[in-house]
Structure 1
Amino acid sequence: MNENEIRGLVGQVKQGTLSRRSFMQRVAALGIAAPIASQILVWHDVAMADATLPYKPTKAGGGGPLKLLFWQAPTLLNPHFAIGTKDQMASRVFFEPLAGWDREGNLIPCLAAEVPTKQNGGLAADGTSVIWKLKQGVKWHDGKPFTADDVVFTWVYAADLATAAYTTGSYKDIKVEKIDDHTVKVIFKAPTPFWADPFVGSVGPILPKHHFGDYTGAKSREAPANLKPVGTGPYKFVEFKPGDLIRAERNPDYHIKNQPHFDTLEIKGGGDAVSAARAVLQTGEYDFAWNMQVEEEVLKRMEASGKGKLDITPSGNVEFIILNTTDPWTEVDGERSNAKTKHPTLSDPAVRRAINLLIDRDSIQKFIYGRGGIATASFVNAPKQFKSPKLKYEFSIDKANKVLDEAGWKKGADGFREKDGKRLKYVFQTSTNAPRQKTQAIIKQACEKAGIEIEIKAVTASVFFSSDVGNPDTYSKFYADMEMYNTTQPQPDPERFLNQCVSWEIATKENKWLGRNISRWSDPEADKAYKAAQNELDPAKRAALLIKVDEIFCEANVFLPLLSRNVVNAHVNSLVIDMSGWDVTTWNLAAWYRV
């Protein structure tokens, strides 16, 4: 099917002679993923639907308590400081964006009255601006009206480098103007093909100016609302014990009719994934458990009890390892893993290549993750047209040994390799979690057969993924030689996901380690390709540029992708949920209900 045929199908959708579902099915047969098919419709001014979940309750409230388990416990409730997924999910209960992403990658209005298109005057023909019309009558939890002033303030707040927001990259290069009390205009410096980033999804929640206005820039961490949120969301804040418990109650003034269904909300943190799964699938003590990173065999046994089930949602998430090319053991300018330093041994490309050959991805998938992931060599795996066709993985201890031999790394009497007095010995860290510890063990065993000594380190998840700038064991500080975790692709376009690969996003003490580039490694060609992709309006050329960024990091063996991860959650049989692989778990929490 050529471009003219696709245009013809789009025309049929516009005329009403072809349903959206049929359009999706027709283009899916060509290998075009649902999120991009949805974007094609947006580009051609075919409006998105306003809801994705058939909602049956006929009034708000009456659903009793909703009890959720986030075994990685939230530690703060400001979405713009939420470097960890757990904090992003918790913040989204209270703060909302202008729009979010549904399961199929459709853009769904939240605080916006509609999704901008060329047809409704929202998208500029030259790709340099977007006009958002805001819902009217929306109130903050304290009764104050939500207006364009709050949207403009959120831009100012997040764009200020002194704020050191996790979301700064989405706001620092744009300008936002207030047109009237319920209309704002986002202006880009150049034609921007993917405009649905600022104010959208996990980076987009709007903050109330009257609560954060006195806490901008260097004072941003002092705001009481960082821990006691006043938002527009379906539930109002009651109590927060960082690392333990969140309690909330139904927002009686919520802006969507008949929502939310539940009267109270409890989010319990701590424990581990196995106990969380058991509390839903076997005992039914809780309604929902997030992130079932539990061995496949264990989950199947729990599901057999019949009290609950798994929800498996495709996503762009990836489980991967970063190899540290900076020195995590030497302090420079008040921080370790400083980008000015070089790792004593991992700065050698041959060593990184050997470690990549020592990862048995197929066994990790088969024996540990099962339905939770698919072995991969690519950092970007979805949508399909953004996945590199040439990145391949191989497991070979023999080849790894040969690579190290040729690079001059000699085995000593103890079987471990050295060169010029430097030993191949590494601290390999990740969060405390049975599948991850088993993955570490598999990799350690293979590495030792090649003469590489591995010291395994497991950090409590609530610490490892914490946004606490004072904690040395967070993944963003990366005070280790190797680390492994899952990173979330927050939207069906990988541009923002790949800013983990650009030099201006390097995590540093100066930006409170909130920079997206945790590896601290950069490449001028990756920077160049990324910048070009940001302004390339031709979809095929843009995809090629983003693929190049992915390939540079993976071929340098700085990123070692392991699994393309599905989103796996557990819920009791009576609970109806709405998941998305392109947004946070709580993106549409207001629409959950019990049958």
Structure 2
Amino acid sequence: MKLRTLLMGAVATSAVATVAVADGHAGERGRDGQLNIIYWQAPSTLNPFLSGGTKENEAASLVLESLARFNENGEMVPWLAESIPTVENGGVAEDLTSITWTLKEGVVWSDGSAFTADDLIFTHEYCTHPESGCASVSYFDGITSVEAEGERGVKITFDAPKPFPYTAFVGAEAPILQKAQFQECLGARAPECTDANFGPIGTGPFVVSEFRPNDVITYVANENYREEGKPAFASITFKGGGDAVAAARSVLETGEFDYAWNLQLAPDVLDRMEAAGKGTVVAAYGTSVERLHLNQTNPDPALGPDMRSVFMNGENAHPFLTDPKVGQALSMAIDRQLIVDVGYGAGGQPTCNVLPAPELYASTANDGCLVQDIEGANALLDEAGWVDSNGNGIRDKDGVELSVLYQTSTNAVRQDTQALIKDWWRQIGVETELRNVDASVFFGGDPGSPDTFQKFYADIEMYTNNFAGVDPEAYMANWLCSDIPTPATQWQGSNIQRFCTPEYDELVEKMSVTANLEERGELAKQMNDMIMQSYSIIPLVHRGNPSAHANSLGGVKMSDWDSELWNIADWYRIKN
């Protein structure tokens, strides 16, 4: 397989990179006609603040933009801002308590209205509203005010020195909303604003023409886009749903689509498809980790909706997954290299960390998980008092059996992984029931659905997550006690497994006021290790996200640090 791997790139916060014109050909906007994209996980909304799902962030990134983005090398590049503020250029205060951005001149919303500081001020208010359940609220942590400064300045002030102030309004997960469109959608009303959530007005290269949730999105070129001659495509059909096999085939074999995302397929399958000669498989490595989340709360249906999988300060703990020795045994039983060989090939490598990169932040303290140890796992459970007292093949203790419901999204590679893990856990006396849920539902943001990964109505669930950009401060803040999904937050929040300890919260706070890069690296490793050694998360594979594009599609610079579609304004059709 001709994987064109785009390796991880470190970024200096003072670096200012520029975005090159991809095709070098002058021409009229829309000159290359139709572009067809397929994401087999269909977006359920185009408001990324109302869903933690990657598919929503990606689909929205064609329309909604940020002050800065991260390119294919992980370098921060100015987007709606003129440049990247730093201490050296005066944009970041010497005491690190504020950052001032200068908006790019002449930017307008797709409806022709002016893009101003008021839109940023409003977006901050929208996401931090206590009743909003904003999925990206951690990107706004520590902000005391967002204020207009001069004609095009926006000053963000923090409650303490902010060593890495590039979180709010940076990357695909923290874009800017138009105040005029969303001002009546604050707090609990946010999910009710269907027209705005399904058709946001943006500054990006495309405008939503039609959105059918969990199905198809149609975009047209933004006639008010700030760069002349861009985008090259007049319209986009963004098809959602189906499965990864069909998506890959539609680009690599039939040529029906130009770009297919997240092709988590067996390596030999992609090899055969690519041999047809119509498309190319590409992969970008960043921070994506396929992992198991072990529910720290009790998901028993008998508890009812007010208590099932609801964190209650330790009063509703899981019957056995809060025992680190059980989690450790589950981890020891897994052969991560075999999972890579069977399901990922060159697009994956075994990992023992939830934070695998950049190198500065990657711990080596947990590398023992790289070697499968069934015998050791059995001995550990024996030592902890988990024995098969009735000879039914399932370990038990105090009347509780080691029996788990293990769920994930519907995906061939994930179902293969589930089958492997079920067998390994059987060998250590753990009974496993497997369940898979349609990806559009599992990763959707519907607070009324019982099947979302945020609700976590299971013992263990598996999926991949990562973070945009290269600094992990906001990402590691996902496991604050305050970020646990609950009914009060409409099940939004990033602390999916309901991990909570004051010691971890203190490390997050300490990192938020630490400027020295080496010290930040050590703090991130400590946080990673605390989560790993709690065994509330069991990492499996450091994923290089594979996608595919038609050989006739130029300008693609795949990034795993931002939306894959971050530079879609530069895509073009290669002429024969």
SS at match of 1:350: helix
SS at match of 1:507: coil
- Partner residue, 1:396: 373
Percent sequence identity is 40
Structure 1 residue 457: deviation in Å? 0.3
- Equivalences for residues 364-383 of structure 1 within 5 A: 364-383=339-358
- Partner residue, 1:514: 492
- Equivalences for residues 280-295 of structure 1 within 5 A: 280-295=251-266
Distance 2:505 2:141 in 1: 17
- Partner residue, 2:238: 267
Q: Are residue 164 (structure 1) and residue 141 (structure 2) matched?
A: no
Distance 1:488 1:34 in 2: 13
Stretch moving more, 523-532 or 557-566: 523-532
Distance 2:416 2:373 in 1: 19
SS at match of 1:100: strand
Distance 2:283 2:185 in 1: 40
Amino acid at match of 1:417: R
Distance 2:42 2:33 in 1: 23
SS at match of 2:354: coil
Stretch moving more, 67-76 or 509-518: 509-518
- Partner residue, 1:257: 228
- Equivalences for residues 343-422 of structure 1 within 5 A: 343-392=318-367, 393=369, 394-411=371-388, 412-422=390-400
Distance 1:166 1:293 in 2: 25
Is the CA contact (8 Å cut-off) linking 2:199 and 2:208 kept in structure 1?
Answer: yes
Stretch moving more, 464-473 or 493-502: 493-502
Amino acid at match of 2:43: P
Structure 2 gaps of 5+ residues are: 1-6
- Partner residue, 2:535: 557
Structure 1 residue 467: deviation in Å? 0.8
Stretch moving more, 517-526 or 262-271: 517-526
CA shift in 2, pair 1:181/1:214, >3 Å: farther
Amino acid at match of 1:497: Y
Distance 1:454 1:333 in 2: 24
Q: Are residue 143 (structure 1) and residue 143 (structure 2) matched?
A: no
Deviation digits for residues 413-470 of structure 1 (CA, Å, limit 9, x no counterpart): 2211111111111000000000000000000001111110000000000011001111
- Partner residue, 1:16: none
Structure 1 residue 203: deviation in Å? 2.6
SS at match of 2:161: coil
Structure 1 residue 266: deviation in Å? 0.7
Is the CA contact (8 Å cut-off) linking 2:8 and 2:285 kept in structure 1?
Answer: no
Distance 2:420 2:142 in 1: 43
Is the CA contact (8 Å cut-off) linking 2:62 and 2:204 kept in structure 1?
Answer: yes
Q: Are residue 523 (structure 1) and residue 501 (structure 2) matched?
A: yes
Using structure 2 for the length normalisation, give the TM-score. Answer: 0.94
SS at match of 2:509: helix
Distance 1:218 1:468 in 2: 14
- Equivalences for residues 111-126 of structure 1 within 5 A: 111-126=80-95
- Out of 287, 298, 306, the residue aligned to residue 334 of structure 1 is 306
Q: Are residue 593 (structure 1) and residue 572 (structure 2) matched?
A: yes
Distance 1:429 1:34 in 2: 30
SS at match of 2:49: coil
SS at match of 2:487: coil
Distance 1:458 1:201 in 2: 31
Stretch moving more, 184-193 or 521-530: 521-530
Q: Are residue 237 (structure 1) and residue 212 (structure 2) matched?
A: no
SS at match of 1:156: helix
Distance 1:67 1:437 in 2: 28
Is the CA contact (8 Å cut-off) linking 1:75 and 1:466 kept in structure 2?
Answer: yes
Distance 1:125 1:104 in 2: 28
- Out of 481, 490, 497, the residue aligned to residue 503 of structure 1 is 481
How many residue pairs get matched? Answer: 557
Deviation digits for residues 136-178 of structure 1 (CA, Å, limit 9, x no counterpart): 2222121111111111111111111212211122225312111
Structure 1 residue 53: deviation in Å? 5.6
Structure 1 residue 570: deviation in Å? 0.5
Deviation digits for residues 373-398 of structure 1 (CA, Å, limit 9, x no counterpart): 11010111110010002111131111
Report 1 or 2 for greater relative contact order, CA contacts < 8 Å, sequence distance ≥ 6. 2
- Partner residue, 2:4: none
- Partner residue, 1:22: none
